[in-house]
Each structure stands twice: as C-alpha cells, then as structure tokens.
Structure 1
C-alpha cells in the first residue's frame, strides 16, 4: 500500500456519519471526524454500536465541527480505548462538551456519574488549535505530519483541515485537505470561506452538489413576510431548529427584522418566574424553547470575537443580535408545557424556535401536537429534513390539498397549519461554492474524493467538476469512494 492513504468509516453512503482515517504508514494514522449516522441512513441502534475499526495507532482525532453527524461517535471512540488528543478550533473546544453532554444524556446514559466521567475524560483530551496556524501532530523517523485549521463558514468554529505529510527522503510534502462541511455564501454571523492554497488530495463534501441555492439576500424578506402573516392571523410560527448554528442564525435575522419594525421590547421589567408573565405581549415575543440551544447561544455570545465584521459592528452599535429584549428563554419542562398550552388556547402571535430540527423528538413535538390542527399557526422549515423523519413528512405536506395526517409518538394528527419552507438558510455550500473551493486550491494534478452526499448529488458534482476543470485546463481526478 502506498502512503499516505485513506479509509472511510462513514460519510460515504449519505450525508451523515462523516469519519475518515488518514494512514501515514501501516501503524500510524489520524482520524478526521467521528460522526454518527442519522435519519434514514442510520442502522438500528447506531448510537450504541461499537466504533467498528481499530483505534490503535491513531495519533489524534481532528474535529472539523461539532454537529452530531461529525462528532456523535466520540463516546464509542473513547469506549474503544482512544486516549489521543482531540484537536479542534478554539470555538469548537467550547461547544463540543455542550453538544456531546446533551447527546450522551439522551442516547447513552443520564446517570450523573457516567456523564461526569465522560465529560472529564473528554475535557482532558480536547486540544484547542488556533485558526491558520500549523500544529505538528506526528513526528517520527520516517514521517512527519502537521495540520492547519481554516474557517469553513458552516457554523461557529467550523474548519476544514489541511494535513501536510512529509516522508524522510522526499523533497516535497503531500497536502491532503478534508473539507468538513463548507458553509454557504453570505452567512451573516460567520467569516467567508477561502479555498486552500494547495491540495494534492481533497476529500470534499457534496451535500448540495446537485443544486444552486436561491439568493440568500431574499431570505430575510421571506421570513419577514411570515412574521407579518402571523401578526395578522394571531398565530404562532413554529420553527423546528437545530440547536447549533441554525438557531443562532435565525435569531440574528429575527432581531434585525424586529429592530426595523420597532417591535423590540425595550426597558422591560425584571423577568418573572412565570414564563407567561415574563412575555411582553405588547411586542412580538420570540420564544427559545431549547435548553441546549440556550447554552449554545450563550457560548456564541461569549465567542463574539469569531463573528463576522458585520455582526461585530451590530454589537458595537449597542444592539444584541442574540440576546435582544424580546427573546424569552424557556428552561424547565413545566414552563415549556405552560407556554404550549397558553399559545394553543389564546390568539396571541408569537415566534417559537424549539428543538429538535427534524421533529423526531424534543420540545417541538409538543407544539406540533397542540397546534398542527389549527390553520392560524404556521410551521416554518429553515433546514434539511432527513428522509423518514416527521419533519420531512410535514414538509412534504406544504401546498397539499385535502386531508393530511402525521404520526407523532404513535398518534395521528391532522395537519391544518400552514407549512412553509424558507430557502436560503442552508448551512452548506451549493454546487457553485463547492466548485469554487475545489478548483481554487492550487495547480493541476489533484485528486478529489466526493463524500457526505446522496448518490445523485455526488454524481452531478463529479460531472460539474470534470467539466469545469476541462474548461479551465486543469487536470483533476474525481472519484466517489
């Protein structure tokens, strides 16, 4: 076998479960991500399954970002005996324990002793790596390897990974780049993605390799139109949102809409312990009903130095893009249930952002049970819905005529609420963004491996890469593992 070489332990059958191993020699390797398969791609009991490969010789795990489909198998990795460093960006080092604690409690064990033991070990292994700086990972007689993290624009702390591998006796190193998940253009909170300066081998995500996104500048106008309709209908806007990334982006844009509409409640009195009393109904309330999303949003606030210049400018103007006055956080389950019942029984407009993003569990399900049968309300999707999830079923009912039902926790509920999908909120680069990233990374002769995408997305992106490289006179070998 020639080295460096690659093996894939996930992320090749669909859009989840990313896990790639970079072999430097027969006994030395790095692991890039260790994600969990989700949705229809996931086999039964995936969260409890053993890691499925030998961890001996793995010198480090490099985390591109902290979504579960990229880090969800870390508990299994540790259970298999992995004790090497977990390298990630500085924001990811803050966010990773929050995400994995929540996942561990929900899918493995809620026992406080086991949770504390897991978190203690995790914290001991995490090594924050600054963006843009080379970090030596392997230093042996025959081979050396350094990594560098660059901003990927997918969510706060997300990175693509450059691996520079030099074998003794070779004049030039090999550069292997793992894209992780690349963000779409125009994310208001994050800095723009720049292509790598060089890539001999590029492992490239292909989530939206078969399409182009709509103009992101129009998305806020569409969101504002939904808010106007809710105000007119006295209905609740239900937004099933992923706690990490999408929620913060939505809050940022909602704050801007309310700021322009002068609907922000300023100078409110001290919040009451009662969630209903805490809401200033003279202004449109924005209810964040997800304890995990609240903790992550606070981490985003603490990490504002990593925000885009636009977002930092708002802070300097005295605005609070992620902590505005009209934002109400609901923590306990009893308060959550009280808010659900209140919104169901009254005619007061509100925006509710609740987890989980695919409606397969979490607090959003109780809102759906209470409000799907009322046409005053609206379910707004601003993210990907995996096949087989309740979110995908509800989303498919958009524009449907006649009788539509959805199974939630074993009971059927009629869908009378309006359903809308807001395009332009994708966290992933579209085909044009992927081409720009892949072909902007140095000279000819590179090999591109397409992962993290459905079969059609990979095939169409492969065709586009070959066509575009020919037009540019660039030699690119495209393969699908």
Structure 2
C-alpha cells in the first residue's frame, strides 16, 4: 500500500458527520474532525464512534460545529488521550459547545460533565494560524500541520498536512478544507486558497449552485423586519448558537446604527421612529449568550471592518435593545407574553433547524397565527422540521405532535456560511498550483456531481489535470 491513505468515517453520505483518518503509514495516523451525523444523515448509532482508534496520534479540528466535533465525547470514551489541535478561538469555544452536547446526549450529571470537561481541556492544544507545527518525527516519517483561516466562523480553519519520508524527494501535501466560508461574512477575515495540495479533501455543500449577491443581505433583513412591524407580529429566526447568531446581531446593530437609534455606547438614542426604537431583539439561548461573550473576548480575530466599529465606540455584539433570556422560566414567560400580546419583536433562538431547543416552544405557540413570521437564514437539512417548514408544508411535526401552520415563512438568501461552486473551484484551483487530486465530501450527491463537473471544466480551461473523486 502506498501512503498516505485516507479513510472516511463520516461526511461522505451528506453534509454532516465529517471525520477523516489520514494514515501516514501502517501504524500511524491523524484524525481530522470527529463530527456527528444529523438530520436525514443520522443513523441509529450515529453518536457512536464506529472505528478503531489504535494508531491515531492526534485529532485536528477544523472548527467547532457539532457536525465536525460532536463525536469527540465518544472518542474520549473509547480511550483516546492524544492531543487535540485547533485554532485559539476554537480552543475557547470547544468546551462550551461540547458541554452543551454532552449534557443533552450523554449525561447532565454535574460530576460526569466536570470530568469530561477537565479531560477535554487537558488535551486541547491551540495552534496559531499560518505557522507550521510539527506533529510526528520518527526518523523515517515526519509530519507537520498548518492551520489557515477558512472564513466559515470565528476560528475555523483548513488543515495543511505536510508528510515526508526518506524515499521522497518532495513532501506530500494533503489539505482538508473543513468548511470554506463565503465572501462578505461579518466579523471574519477572507479565506486564502492553499499554496499547494497534492490531495485536497474538499467540502461540497453548495457545489452545484451559485449564491445570490450577499452584499445587500442586511437590507433584505431590514425589509423583513419592517414587514413584521407592519403586521404587528413577531419574527422568529431559528439560528445556531455559534456563528449565525453573532452574524445576525452584528447586522441588526448596523441597521439600528444607520437608523440613528444607537449612540456610540450601544445605548438607544431618542428618536421619533418609535417602532424600531422600541423593538426588542430577544436572544433566547444561554449557549448563544456564552458563545457571543467569547466572540467579544476574541475581537483580535475579527476582520478590519468589525474592529473599526469597536474603535468608534460601537458595540456590534452588545447593544441596548438586545434582551438576553437565561432561565427556562423566563423563556416560558417571554413565549406566553409574545403569544398573548402580539407585540412586535425579533426572537433569535436555537436550534437552527427547529429540531430541538427553545425555538420549538415559540413555534408551538405561534405557528397558527399569520401575524408572525419565521425567517430562515441557514441551511435546513432534509428530515428536520425546519426543512418541512421552509418547504411551505401546511402542518409540521414538533415533539411528535402535528401543528397546523398559518405563520408566514421567509428564507433570506445570502446568509450561507459555505462557499458556493465558484468559491470552491477557486479554492481548489485558484492558487499558484492547482490541487492534483480532489476528493469531494460534505455534500449531497447532486452537489458533489455539480462541483466535480465544474472542477473538471475549469482545470481543462487552465490546462492542468485534476483527478476528482467522490468516495462511496
């Protein structure tokens, strides 16, 4: 067998469950991500590890979404005690994300949670962006990794693995894309393609399509809120706690700032635009609040525009009209208040696919009222209630019970955190040297086929030969 060899333990049948084992020789390997399968991708045992961990020297994390890290508890339960490498922002966010997942999926017993978090934190080793880090030096085998910004969420990275053996005149470069971000993403610095890749394991979430113009998405969000104010209803925005919630807060603060409703301290300014000035922005997710606080602390990783707003005295992720709901009792009070009064409000709550979390209670209370509106700003995995709602179904099942739908449904485009076909092709082929071999993962079959065709066409146009494969 000729090494390196890649074994996929997830992420090949759909858009979740990313987990790839890079075999450096017959006894030594690295694990890139250890994600959970979700939605229609999930199998009955999807939270189980499902593979042998012997020989795995380290785990490298591209970012901390559950479809990339959700099986880490199972990995540790199987006895893995190697280092977990990730960016500094990911190192701060990972315990928050996995504590929540551990409580929901394994045990909420405080002692169990504490032991898990202590073990996790003892293994995590932050790695600076753009610097090579030696992982393995065994005489006959050397391997180093480098993390580069992926533009998907704060701390997200793609992983470059450089592998050398005495038999090679040149090292082998294997690159794992993780999730590649789209341009014009609030807070995030743009992604730069890898300078070289012998093998590129590339995500394909939107490999068959081009995104609409993202530059005016704030205006579309503002228009949706204006409609809700006119209808005297509540806007429900299902959003994951990590990434999308912070983008929404950032853009809502921009709307309020441009309307002159905030002074530079983030406090509401007096104004005759009564509706907007009194509109509560309700963040009903304890996890999202903790994640947002970490985002604030990591402002040195923000892009230039976001840091400029801070220097002007603005508070992009913390302004006066932002109302944070912590306890479950307070959450239920807010649900009942909005249902009974019909007061206009914006509610951001998890989870993003309406398959659990506090958004479900809001939906149960408001699905039958046409004054209200659900605004989707994220990808809805097939098989989730969010996907059913987005398709305009007359009924949706929540917690095993069918609810009739009269609430309005809107999908705002331009909020994808994933690159489209053009962005993915540019990532694979747009650097100084095109990838020699591209392995497509993290996408539905149609998306992979579309991206494969685009990669072959573009490589032929550039006069380079690229081998594109799709794992079974």
TM bucket (normalised to shorter chain) is: over 0.9
Within the alignment, does 1:40 sit opposite 2:30 as a pair?
A: no
Write the deviation string for residues 340-370 of structure 1: whole angstroms up to 9, x where unpaired: 1111111321100000111011100110111
Within the alignment, does 1:436 sit opposite 2:431 as a pair?
A: no
Within the alignment, does 1:316 sit opposite 2:311 as a pair?
A: yes
Match of 2:407 in 1: 417
Match of 2:272 in 1: none
Match of 1:333 in 2: 328
Match of 1:231 in 2: 229
Structure 1: how far apart are the matches of 2:66 and 2:435?
Answer: 34
Structure 2: how far apart are the matches of 1:164 and 1:410?
Answer: 49
Matches within 5 A, 1:47-58: 47=47, 49=48, 51-58=49-56
1:410 positional shift: 2.3
Match of 1:390 in 2: 385
Match of 2:29 in 1: 29
Structure 1: how far apart are the matches of 2:19 and 2:268?
Answer: 48
Match of 1:375 in 2: 370
On the 8 A contact 2:62/2:159 being kept in 1, the answer is: yes
Structure 1: how far apart are the matches of 2:112 and 2:440?
Answer: 38
- Indicate the RMSD between aligned Cα atoms, in angstroms: 1.5
Match of 2:286 in 1: 291
Within the alignment, does 1:248 sit opposite 2:257 as a pair?
A: no
Q: 1:157 aligns with which of 152, 155, 158?
A: 155
Structure 2: how far apart are the matches of 1:406 and 1:257?
Answer: 32
On the 8 A contact 1:33/1:63 being kept in 2, the answer is: yes
Within the alignment, does 1:10 sit opposite 2:10 as a pair?
A: yes
Q: 1:201 aligns with which of 199, 216, 219?
A: 199
Match of 1:277 in 2: none
Structure 2: how far apart are the matches of 1:441 and 1:200?
Answer: 13
On the 8 A contact 1:237/1:377 being kept in 2, the answer is: yes
Match of 2:339 in 1: 344
Q: 2:63 aligns with which of 65, 78, 83?
A: 65
Q: Secondary structure at the match of 1:25?
A: coil
Q: 1:456 aligns with which of 443, 446, 449?
A: 446
On the 8 A contact 1:263/1:283 being kept in 2, the answer is: no
Give the TM-score taking structure 2 as reference length: 0.96
Q: 1:77 aligns with which of 71, 75, 78?
A: 75
1:169 positional shift: 3.7
- Relative to 1, partners in 2 of residues 1:248 and 1:57: Cα closer, same or farther, differing over 3 Å? same
Write the deviation string for residues 56-107 of structure 1: whole angstroms up to 9, x where unpaired: 1111100000000000000111111100000000000000000000000001
Q: Which runs of 4+ in 1 moved over 2 A?
A: 262-269, 441-445
Write the deviation string for residues 200-248 of structure 1: whole angstroms up to 9, x where unpaired: 1000000000000010012111111011111111111000001100000
Structure 1: how far apart are the matches of 2:389 and 2:468?
Answer: 37
Structure 1: how far apart are the matches of 2:432 and 2:177?
Answer: 15
Write the deviation string for residues 149-188 of structure 1: whole angstroms up to 9, x where unpaired: 0000000000000000000242210100000000001102
On the 8 A contact 1:199/1:441 being kept in 2, the answer is: no
Q: Secondary structure at the match of 2:40?
A: helix
Match of 2:352 in 1: 357
Give the TM-score taking structure 1 as reference length: 0.94
On the 8 A contact 2:429/2:435 being kept in 1, the answer is: no
- Relative to 1, partners in 2 of residues 1:417 and 1:445: Cα closer, same or farther, differing over 3 Å? closer
